[in-house]
Amino acid sequence: GRGGVVALELQGTPLAEFRFPARGALLVGSEELGLSPEALGLADAGRVSIPMAGAKRSLNVAVACGIVLQAWAASLGGR
């Protein structure tokens, strides 16, 4: 099956448009610095972001991770 590494990053594909792999890993970075260039280079399945409105436009990294993992699980459709 289609697998790969996904990076959670500010400049990624919006969550609603992102095509998650059937299996893989999610890379999340620190809230302040994000992911290193080396880690981003591992993201062979792409970069995903969570679009937000407002001035601050940031989420706690654990909350953001939960949102993305829930969307990934939903995209699998119970597989």
pLDDT tens-digit map of 6-62: 999 988 999 999 999 999 999 999 888 899 999 999 999 999 999 987 777 677 899
Contact 20, 6 (CB under 8 A): yes
Q: Are 26 and 15 in contact (CB under 8 A)?
A: no
In contact, 32 and 68? CB cutoff 8 Å: no
pLDDT at 41: 96
The pLDDT score that the predictor gives to residue 59 is: 79
Instruction: Name the residue among 18, 22, 17, 16 with its Cα closest to residue 4.
Output: 22
- pLDDT for 79 equals 58
Q: What pTM, to 2 d.p., does this model score?
A: 0.88
What pLDDT is recorded for position 78?
A: 64
